[in-house]
Amino acid sequence: MRAITYSRFGGADVLELTDQPTPKVAPDSVLVRVRAASVNPVDWKVRGGYLDAILDTHFPAVPGWDVAGVVEQVGLDATEYAVGDEVYGYVRKDVVQGGTFAELVAAPVRTLARKPASLTFEEAAAVPLAGLTAYQTIRRAGVHEGQTVLVHAAAGGVGAFAVQIARALGARVLGTASERNHDFLRGLGAEPLTYGDGLADRVRALAPDGVDVALDYVGGDAVATSAAVLADGGTIASVVDDAARDDHGGHYVWVRPSVADLEALAALIDAGKVAVEVDQVFDLADAADAHRANESGHTRGKVVVRV
C-alpha cells in the first residue's frame, strides 16, 4: 500500500511517499480503507520528536491519527462493524507507527464510530481529534445551559468546535480571535474578542460578573487571564497548560479515543448544531505540504489529506 512515512525526527521534509505492507488486523480491530485523514498540531510535534519522552515511535512511522474511510476487513472479534461500513475515528495507538496517512490503517474498534451521514469523507476526517478535544474539555468543565463560557483561540480547529458545542448546550460564548476572524465567530454564535494586551478588561466589559468556564486551547497567558476574569466557583480547563489544574483547581485535558464521544459529535453534526470547516485539501503525495500548512498557523479550518 502507499503510505507517508518518516524514518527520523525532523521537519516536514522527512516525510516521503513509500510502499508499505498491508497492516495486520488484530481481533479487536478493523482494516479501514482510508478516504481522508487530517493534520493536527500534534502530528508535526510528534514528527519533530517533541513528544518522544511520552510516546514511543517505531520507524518507519506512518503519521496521522484522524481518519475517515470504509471498513475493508473485520477482525476476529470486531463484531461492531461489517465490511462496507463508513467510519471515522481518532486512531491513536500505544506507539507511533501505523498511522492514518496511508491507503489502509488497522484501527481498534475503541477508536472508531460510524461516520456522520451528513459529511463528506474529507469533512469527517477533520472532526475526530479536534472535535473530541473540544467535547471532552467542555464535558470535564461541566458546561451547561445559562453559563458564560470564554473560549481562547475560538477560531482555531478545536476552538470552533468548542464554541458550537457550548452553544448547543445553551451557554453564552465569548471567543478570542484576531479581528479578521470576528465575523466567522459571530456566525458560530460567539461574541468575539481580540486577543492580546487588555483582554481581561475586554472580557469584563462583556461579562462584568465574570465567566463561569474558561477553555484554553492556545497556552501563553490564557490561563492567567482566565483566572483574572473567572466568576466565583468558576472553572478553567486547558489542553496546553497544567497550571489550570495545578494552580487553579481546574482541569488539564489530554484527549482520549472514545466511541461514545464520537457518536455524540456525529449526532450534533447530523442535527445541524455543529458545522465543520475544511480549509485546504491535499493529495496523499503532498502530505509534507499539508503539514507545513498546519504548522504555519495561518489556517482557520482543518487541513485534510485525501487518499
Tell me the DSSP string of 114-142. Answer: EPPTTS-HHHHHTSHHHHHHHHHHHHHHT
- Is the distance from CB of 165 to CB of 271 less than 8 angstroms? no
**In terms of Cα–Cα distance, which of 201, 207, 32, 192 is closest to 105?**
32
Q: Any idea how long the chain is? A: 307
pLDDT at site 204:
98
Alpha helix (H) residue ranges in 51-156: 121-125, 128-141
* Alpha helices, DSSP H, located in the chain: 41-47, 121-125, 128-141, 157-168, 182-188, 199-206, 222-229, 243-246, 259-270, 287-296
Do the bridges between strand 86-90 and strand 112-114 make them parallel or antiparallel, or are there none, so unpaired? antiparallel
Give the burial string for 27-46 (b: 16+ CB within 10 Å, else e). Answer: eebbbbbbbbbbbbebbbeb
Which helix or strand (DSSP H or E) is residue 18 part of?
A: strand 16-19
> For every one of its 307 residues, what pLDDT tens digit does the chain have, with 9 covering 90 and above?
999 999 999 999 999 999 999 999 999 999 999 999 999 999 999 999 999 999 999 999 999 999 999 999 999 999 999 999 999 999 999 999 999 999 999 999 999 999 999 999 999 999 999 999 999 999 999 999 999 999 999 999 999 999 999 999 999 999 999 999 999 999 999 999 999 999 999 999 999 999 999 999 999 999 999 999 999 999 999 999 999 999 999 999 999 999 999 999 999 999 999 999 999 999 999 999 999 999 987 677 899 999 9
* Spatial CB neighbours of 275, under 8 Å, sequence gap ≥ 6: 164, 188, 269
Residue 298: what pLDDT?
67
**Cα distance between the two ends of the chain:** 11
CA quadruple 226, 227, 229, 234: dihedral sign: positive
